[in-house]
Amino acid sequence: MCSGRVDPEFVFRAFATGQDGVLIGGCRLNECNYITHGNYDALSNTYICKNIMERIGLNPERLSIEFMSGGDGNRLTEAVNDFTWKVKELGPLGEAEGIENNRLKGDLEAVIKIIPYIKLVEREKLRPPVKSGKAYNEFFTSDEVNRLLGDLIGEKLTISRIVTLLREKPLPAGEISEILGLDPSEVTKHMNSSSRQGLVTYDIDSKCYALALSGA
């Protein structure tokens, strides 16, 4: 299977099922067996997934991609062994990052829900102009692209995280910000926006936000 078919959803579902790390293997760059050069798509997805992992508090080193040919048996063994040791050093997923299990589960669910949107953004806004490992690294580690990811994906992810949290029970803005590690003003801003869209309601007596029936 081409590494370009490794959907971001596969990565986050692996973490959601308790895997401590994900290693993606692909053909060497510029040696793709297909005209699509799917290994570059896999590289893009890896950078984007790492960025999202950081946004929910996961160590991005838990995700890695390696490029090699079909004859690189020794390289494959080395890559797997090195990654296995790295993940063992990082420790159990979530626990090592100090993330409570229910919160981690909710955040991963929130990410998975917006994967179709993330893929759309990647196709339309996040395509480096040149196909080379260096160009992709410079593109995806630039401040400009990080800001773009924050503008296009960060806000959508924050709302998805909040909505997923409110599925459990109504909560005040302060508690939402504390649980998700967000600035209270940021939570209020998103709740006001979500309220105008009919996604959430606000109960004045309890001072809590809750999912609207139409958005449940």
Question: CB of 83 within 8 A of CB of 64?
Answer: yes
Residue 214 has pLDDT above 70, yes or no: no
Give pLDDT, residue 91. Answer: 97
Q: What is the mean pLDDT of the chain?
A: 91
Partnered with residue 24 across adjacent β-strands are: 65
Please report which residue ranges of the chain form alpha helices under DSSP H. 8-16, 38-55, 73-90, 101-113, 115-125, 133-140, 143-149, 155-166, 173-180, 184-196
Span 102-141, pLDDT tens digits? 999 999 999 999 999 999 999 999 999 899 999 999 999 9
| Predicted TM-score (pTM) of this structure | 0.88
> Reduced to 3 states, what is the DSSP secondary structure of residue 203?
strand
Q: How many other CB atoms are found less than 10 A from the CB of residue 125?
A: 13
pLDDT in tens, 60-96: 999 999 998 877 788 899 999 999 999 999 999 999 9
Q: Which two tokens stand for residue 67?
A: 């490029």
CB 6 within 8 Å of CB 42: yes
Assigned CATH topology for domain 170-216 = Arc Repressor Mutant, subunit A (1.10.10)
Tell me the two tokens of residue 110. Answer: 């929130």
* pLDDT at residue number 104: 95
User: Could you tell me if residue 98 is left (phi over 0), alpha (psi between -120 and 50 degrees) or otherwise beta?
Assistant: left
d(CA 210, CA 198): 11
Q: Whole-angstrom Cα distance, residue 127 to residue 62?
A: 24
At 37, the pLDDT band (50, 70, 90 cuts) reads confident
168-183 mean pLDDT: 91
Per domain, the residue ranges of the chain are 3-168, 170-216
